[in-house]
């Protein structure tokens, strides 16, 4: 997945809708969360603060930020006697506390 946007969505004079934001949200996984966040950010950039699409987009940006860090499980399932790798969120918390 890239951060490139569908040119039709960005066509001059076309109103951005809540549906546009939700179409991008549908593909959200930890792996693609940051790319989707940037696409949504670009899509809602020029909208007024009270626009429903902007409100939905900003809410989704916060969710994608959390998903990108806390939703990522690294490695494979733990083998007998070994703990699984921590999520990026727990690793970041450990680093921040040092």
Q: What is the pLDDT of residues 7-61, one digit of tens each?
A: 676 667 788 888 888 887 776 778 788 888 999 999 999 999 999 999 999 999 9
DSSP classification of residue 7: T
**Rounded distance between C-alpha atoms, residue 75 and residue 26, angstroms:** 25
Q: Which residue has the higher pLDDT, 92 or 1?
A: 92
Q: How far apart are CA 92 and CA 86, in angstroms?
A: 10
* Residue of 75, 73, 68 whose CA lies nearest to 87: 73
Q: Any idea where the domains of the chain sit in the sequence? A: 18-97
Of 98 and 18, more confident: 18
């Amino acid at each position: 997945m890239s951060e490139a946007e569908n040119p039709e969505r960005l066509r001059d004079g076309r109103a951005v809708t809540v549906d546009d934001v939700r179409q991008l949200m549908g593909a959200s996984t930890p792996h693609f969360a940051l790319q989707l966040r940037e696409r949504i950010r670009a899509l809602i950039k020029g909208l007024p603060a009270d626009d429903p699409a902007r409100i939905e987009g900003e809410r989704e940006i916060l969710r994608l930020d959390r998903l990108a860090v806390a939703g990522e499980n690294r490695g494979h399932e733990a083998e007998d006697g070994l703990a699984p790798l921590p999520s990026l969120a727990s690793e970041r918390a450990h680093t921040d506390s040092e």
